[in-house]
Amino acid sequence: MPISALEHFSYCPRQCGLIHLEQVFDDNVFTLRGRLAHERVDEVHHETRPDLRREYAVPLWSRRLGLIGRADLVEFTATGPYPVEHKVGKKRAWDHETIQLCAQAMCLEEMLGQAVPRGAIYYHGSRARREVEFDAALRRQVEETTAAVRAMLRDLALPAAVHDARCRHCSLQDACLPAVVGRPARARAWRAELFRTHGEEDGPGS
C-alpha cells in the first residue's frame, strides 16, 4: 500500500477511496504547484558535505506495515537518518502531513535498523522547516490509519463525503460531488423530484 494513501485518508477518507479504489485523479492549482515543488526532489541524486549527506528520492518500504513509498529527502548525519518532506504553501500544522512523514520514518527504521526520532516538513511558500517528533501517539496514528485504509481497500467501500472546508482545496470535487452525496436527504429530495417530474411528463402507464 502506498504511504501517500495514509496522507489522503487522514485528509479525507473519501479522497483516499476515490484515488486508491476508483483510480480517480484530477489536478487543481494545489496539485500542480505540488508537482512543480517536487521537481527537484523527485530526481534520484545526492549531495555531500563534511558532516552531512543528503539523499533525494529515496525508495521506502516496511514489510511489517505493508507500506511502500518514497522520501523526498533523507539527511544522514552523525545522529542518524532524518526524513524531510517537501510541501507547497506556507508553514502550517496539518496532521495528515505529519502522519505521512512519520510513516516514512517507520519505514526507514525497519530498513536501516536505526532509530529515527525526528524529521521535518519543508514548506516552499515560507522557505521554512517544521520539525516533527515521532512520538508514541503519532506512531499509533500511523498504525491505525494503515489498518483503516487496508480495511477500506479490502471491503471496496468508498467512504462518505465529508462536505466541509476540506473540499475547497480538494482537486476531486468534480468526481466526488460533495454537495450532492454529502447531503443524502437533499439528494433523496432531488431524486424524488426528478422521478415525479418524469412520471408526470411521461403520463400514466408509461
CB 118 → ligand SF4: shortest distance, Å? 30
CB 102 → ligand SF4: shortest distance, Å? 22
CB 131 → ligand SF4: shortest distance, Å? 28
Of 21 and 57, the one with the shorter C-beta distance to ligand SF4 is 21
Write out the binding residues for ligand SF4, residues 152-171 only, by CB under 6 A: 161-163, 166-167, 170
Label residue 59 exposed, middle or buried (CB < 10 Å: 0-12, 13-18, 19+): exposed
E strand intervals along the chain:
45-49, 52-62, 67-77, 80-87, 118-123, 128-133
Stretch 9-28: interaction string toward ligand SF4, x if CB under 6 A: ---x-xx--x----------
Please tell me the distance from the alpha carbon of residue 47 to that of residue 127, in angstroms, as a whole number: 19
Under 8 Å CB-to-CB from 191, ≥6 apart: which residues?
A: none
Of 6 and 74, the one with the shorter C-beta distance to ligand SF4 is 6
Q: Does 121 bind ligand SF4 (CB under 6 A)?
A: no
First to last CA, the chain: 50
Of 132 and 172, the one with the shorter C-beta distance to ligand SF4 is 172
Contact present, 158 and 22 (Cβ < 8 Å): yes
CB 32 → ligand SF4: shortest distance, Å? 16
What three-state secondary structure class fits 166? helix
Residues contributing to the site for ligand SF4 (CB under 6 A): 12, 14-15, 18, 161-163, 166-167, 170, 172-173, 176, 178
